[in-house]
A = this chain, B = another copy of it.
Amino acid sequence: MKITAVIMAGGKGERFWPKSRKSFPKQFLSLTKDGETMIQKTVKRLLPMVEMADIFVVTGTAYRDLVREQLSDLPTENILTEPCSRNTAPCIGLAAQVIEKKYGEAMMLVLPSDHLIRYEEMYIDTLQQAVQVAEQNQNLVTIGITPTYPETGYGYIHFARDTSLEMNSVYRVEQFVEKPDRETAKQYLASHHYLWNSGMFVWKTSSILWNLKQLMPDIFDGLERIGDALGTAEYDAVLTREYTAFRSESIDFGVMECATQIYTLPGSFGWDDVGNWLAIERINATNEYGNYVEGDVITIDTKRSTICGRKRLVAAVGVKDVIVVDTDDAILICGKDSCQNVKKVIENLKICNRQELI
């Protein structure tokens, strides 16, 4: 069966302000020293398993040119644009329609565009195993991440052994659970029956479309009308009309939490969601003082800090555990404990209607 990949690249990524902006979200940033952007890495690591011609990127209209620019080998028709953001369920449904119209039945690997994977071979191995599970019946497969600490910022997957399955390392999903509080997260970790929800899914087009039809019939009908218009002169108009009318719904809430035949494979391939500036020192090498430094930077008595310079000299003297990010029109100085509060700067900018800085 044809294996396709759907890369979801509609995210805003406010947590990497000031480098990320509304017009330039995280998936288009290079956050590692090799200069590759997050979406370029996402595509590249799939190539051992999926041909470039079978990789689809779903993104906002505003990011179409960025995708073209950064993924110059990707066929232009594989960039699917959303007229507006409607969360992941319509996004995935649109891709399923397009792929089904093009190939008939096909396997879909649905993947975020802005995560990092350290062990790419193991990642491919896991995806291949997921494909085997997804080939059977109408199975929906999600890749869970084996937790390493009681994170409160992710959703969790409660899994159980399924004796009917004749494969190792594949588990039945009992329940998707929302971001837990600290105490609950600790219990999840201790129970050994919870995985992090990474937002990576594997299924056949027929499986996801059947589930959408059962569980979100309104959206399914709209998607069908979009699918019927594919390749016609009316496509853009139909897409805009139908898509705008969709309610916002995540695939987790709209499908995964209600569907049956959901399986999970635990991934231990060095996944990092690169959730905020704190990730930079995790995903890059730091120097002997624990600093990650790029650009024109002088550090004096500075420790455990991340300093991203740009055109101007950044001099850090006697600071510890801070993150400094310079851009042409804004600079962020952030305590490492406060990365989650970078979004408050954006809230402030919104209140003051300073669109040029958002």
Instruction: Point out residues on A near B: beta carbons under 8 Å.
Output: 17-18, 298, 300-301, 312-320, 322, 324, 326-335, 337-338, 341-342, 344-345, 348-349, 354, 357
Interface pairs (24), CB distance under 8 Å: A17-B315, A298-B349, A300-B345, A300-B348, A312-B327, A312-B328, A312-B329, A312-B330, A313-B329, A313-B330, A313-B354, A314-B331, A315-B330, A315-B331, A316-B333, A317-B332, A317-B341, A317-B345, A318-B341, A319-B333, A319-B338, A322-B333, A324-B333, A326-B331
Q: Which residues of B contact A333 (CB under 8 A)?
A: 314-317, 319, 322, 324, 333
- Give the distance in Å from the alpha carbon of A95 to the alpha carbon of B343 in the complex: 58
- Give the distance in Å from the alpha carbon of A342 to the alpha carbon of B315 in the complex: 9
Contact, CB under 8 Å: B338 / A318: yes
Q: Which residues of B contact A342 (CB under 8 A)?
A: 315, 317
A333 to chain B, nearest CB (A): 5
- Give the distance in Å from the alpha carbon of A198 to the alpha carbon of B289 in the complex: 40
Q: Which of B337, B338, B354 contacts A300 (CB 8 A)?
A: B338
Contact, CB under 8 Å: A313 / B357: yes
A124 to chain B, nearest CB (A): 38
- Give the distance in Å from the alpha carbon of A328 to the alpha carbon of B314 in the complex: 11
Q: Which residues of B contact A314 (CB under 8 A)?
A: 330-331, 333
- Give the distance in Å from the alpha carbon of A21 to the alpha carbon of B17 in the complex: 31
Contact, CB under 8 Å: B315 / A18: yes
In the complex, the 8 A-B pairs of residues with the closest C-beta atoms, listed nearest first: A318-B338, A318-B335, A313-B330, A317-B334, A315-B345, A300-B344, A317-B338, A316-B333
From A298, A316, A317, A322, residue with most partner B Cβ within 10 Å? A317
Q: Which residues of B contact A327 (CB under 8 A)?
A: 312
Q: Which residues of B contact A315 (CB under 8 A)?
A: 17-18, 330-334, 342, 345
Q: Which residues of B contact A349 (CB under 8 A)?
A: 298
Given A18-B315, A315-B330, A317-B341, 5 more A-B residue pairs with CB atoms under 8 Å apart are A17-B315, A312-B327, A312-B330, A313-B354, A315-B345
From A322, A333, A344, A345, residue with most partner B Cβ within 10 Å? A333
Contact, CB under 8 Å: B312 / A331: yes
Q: Which residues of B contact A301 (CB under 8 A)?
A: 335, 338, 341
Q: Which residues of B contact A348 (CB under 8 A)?
A: 298, 300
Q: Which residues of B contact A326 (CB under 8 A)?
A: 331
Q: Which of B313, B338, B345 contacts A331 (CB 8 A)?
A: B313
Q: Which residues of B contact A338 (CB under 8 A)?
A: 300-301, 317-319
- Give the distance in Å from the alpha carbon of A318 to the alpha carbon of B94 in the complex: 41
- Give the distance in Å from the alpha carbon of A341 to the alpha carbon of B299 in the complex: 11
Q: Which residues of B contact A318 (CB under 8 A)?
A: 334-335, 337-338, 341
From A314, A342, A345, residue with most partner B Cβ within 10 Å? A345
Q: Which residues of B contact A328 (CB under 8 A)?
A: 312
Contact, CB under 8 Å: B331 / A300: no
- Give the distance in Å from the alpha carbon of A44 to the alpha carbon of B345 in the complex: 41
- Give the distance in Å from the alpha carbon of A328 to the alpha carbon of B298 in the complex: 16
Q: Which residues of B contact A335 (CB under 8 A)?
A: 301, 317-320
